[in-house]
Structure 1
Amino acid sequence: MTDTAVISDGAAAAVALDPVRAQLLGALRTPGSATTLAAELGLSRQKVNYHLRALETHGLVELVEERRKGNMTERVMRATASAFVVSPQAWALLAPDPDASPDRLSAQWLLAVAARLLREVGALVTAAGRRRVATFAVDGEIRFASAADRAAFTRELGDSVRDLVARYHDAAAPGGRRHRLVVAVHPAMTPDEPS
């Protein structure tokens, strides 16, 4: 089982986002059978089997073992990852394009950049399999005293990042590898706000 899998196929995303199937994926972080899952989720075994087949068809769950119980075979399944992220690529026609309207101060542009980040890192993780992907992220929170302070901070941050990029970017480096850099600032949500 991998830590996080990225779902980039639209049909697999639709299957995973069904409320009952999402519950099953969560429960199957620990292997279980249709019988144990039915009892845990308060569903019929037949209904659980139906949903498990759909999840298995799209590679979201896998067979761990088969056990003989009387005249029947119990299939023990588990999720193929402990967490799933749906890539905007799954909804290719709806995926936002950051190059379409590059208003760097708009929330819509930030969402488009985040969607591209998810698409690209998702593709890298999927291609790498169990190997690690060289990435780096900074996550923090800052409280500004005023809008003017926020504006000054974003200007300074932008200038600092541009200077750092100019210092290390080498377009002609033999064997060099391009990396994408994303820096974002947005209002933080309080713990009681719905996400």
Structure 2
Amino acid sequence: MESIAEVTDTGAVQAMAHPMRLRILAALREPSSAAAVARDLGEARQKVNYHVKELERVGLAQRVGERRAGNLVESLYQATAATYVISPRLAWVDRPRIEALAEQVALENLVAVGERLQQAAALLLDRAAFDGEKIASAAVEAEVRFADAAQRAEFLKEYMAAVGPLLKKYGDPQGDAYRVVLAVHPEEKS
């Protein structure tokens, strides 16, 4: 099982839209049968089996084995990932967005950084939730206004000059690895 999977298929998103399927995926973090999941969730076995099959059909769950339960052989299923993150690109199928991302490298990079940040946050949340780990993290967000493009360019120049030495000063090759994300983008117009 992957620790995280990015969902980029509309069928998988539709399957995840059903609240019971989300509960089933949570129960399938460890291999289990539809009958055992049904007992855990207090739902009918047939109902849960149907939803497990739908999750399997769209690639969110997979058959991982079988076990004997009396005279029956039960199929065991497991979620394909511990955590799923829905890609925002899934909704960006129109030509203007696709062309804008292809033409503006910095904007494409900002989108990619946002996706990686979303995935990292989801993984860290899992470590806190399931492993009981205390996560050392920080987020800083600020608003700054520029009178014109020249002032914005000067800010970016100084910004990069200030960050480089700071990263070098505190970057110990022997220490724990941390991801530092610094982003500058226009504020959403209201």
- TM-score class, shorter-chain normalisation, is 0.5 to 0.7
Q: Does 1:85 align with 2:85?
A: yes
> Once the 2 structures are TM-superposed, how far is the Cα of residue 70 of structure 1 from its aligned partner?
3.6
2:22 maps to what in 1? 22
Which amino acid is the alignment partner of residue 77 of structure 1? Y
Give 1:57's aligned amino acid: R
User: Which residues of structure 1 form unaligned runs of 5+?
Assistant: 103-108, 123-138, 145-149, 165-180, 187-195
Q: What's the counterpart of residue 44 of structure 1? A: 44
AA of the residue aligned to 1:118 = E
Task: Write out the 4+ residue segments of structure 1 that deviate beyond 6 Å after TM superposition.
Answer: none
TM-score scaled to structure 2, two decimals? 0.57
> Aligned with 1:151: secondary structure?
coil
1:151 maps to a residue whose letter is V
Counterpart CA distance in 1 for 2:140 and 2:12 is 38
TM-score (normalizing by structure 1)? 0.55
| Secondary structure at the counterpart of residue 32 of structure 1 | coil
Where 2:144 maps in the other structure, the secondary structure is helix
Q: What does residue range 114-153 of structure 1 map to in structure 2 within 5 Å?
A: 114=111, 117-118=114-115, 140-142=138-140, 150-151=143-144
CA shift, 1:160, in A, is 3.4
Seen in structure 2, the aligned counterparts of structure 1 residues 95 and 88 have a Cα distance that, compared at 3 Å, is farther
Q: Name structure 2 gaps, 5 residues minimum.
A: 120-136, 147-151, 163-180
CA distance in 1, matches of 2:34, 2:8: 27
Q: CA deviation at 1:94?
A: 7.0
8 Å CA contact 1:10, 1:91 repeated in 2:
no
Larger % of helix: which? Answer: 2
CA deviation map 1:13-61 (0-9, x unaligned): 1112321111111111122111111111111000100000011111111
Kindly provide the amino acid, as one letter, of the partner of residue 37 in structure 2. L
Query: C-alpha root-mean-square deviation of aligned residues, in Å?
Result: 4.2
SS at match of 2:5: strand
The equivalent residue for 2:2 is 2
What SS does structure 2 have at the residue aligned with 1:76?
strand
Cα offset, 1:62, TM superposition: 1.4
Identity %: 34
